Amino acid sequence: MRLDGNAIGGLLGQLFTAEVTDARGSCHGCGAVGALGAQHLYMHPLAPGAVLRCRSCQSVLLVLVLAHGRIRLALRGMTWLDMGDSAVPAVWPSASRGPVLA
């Protein structure tokens, strides 16, 4: 059944430390740019995985499979993924915000 990419947040949260549903990605198929949470997600409670498709051209962006105690993430259709500064933990070493001047 069709849902929003937002619904895959829990599964992706097992893999990434940052919240990625509001990260923007670019579709390798058509070049459209948008938040992962806004794309079309195909998932069913009894299915062993989920497929995220571009809402503009329906190309497959990512596939997540859960089986035999493992998680496999295939990021086959995304040219890039861009996360805001808020995705960086506040306690991240200061280097991420540039050198600290004494």
Partner 1 sequence: MARAALQRRLTWRLAEVTQLVAETPRVRSLLLRVPGWPGHRAGQHTDVRLTAEDGYTAERSYSIASAPDAGEQLTLTVERLDEGEVSPYLTEELRIGDQLELRGPIGGYFVWDLELGGPLMLIAGGSGICPLMAMLRRRASASSQVPTRLLYSSRTQEDIIYREELDRLGAAGSGLQVIPTLTRVQPPDWTGHSGRIDQAMLNDVAWSPSDHPLIYVCGPTALVEHVADALVSLGHDPERVKTERFGPSGG
User: Which stretches of the chain bind partner 1, using CB under 8 A?
Assistant: 1-7, 9-10, 13-23, 35-38, 45, 86-87, 89-91
> Quick one: 50 or 77, whose CB is closer to partner 1?
50
Nearer to partner 1, 63 or 83 (CB): 83
Closest CB 10 distance from partner 1, rounded Å = 4
Task: For 41-50, give one letter per residue: b (16+ CB within 10 A) or e.
Answer: bebeeeeebb
Least distance (Å) between residue 91 CB and partner 1: 5
Nearer to partner 1, 63 or 66 (CB): 66
Residue 60 CB, shortest distance to partner 1, in Å, is: 19
Nearer to partner 1, 57 or 102 (CB): 57
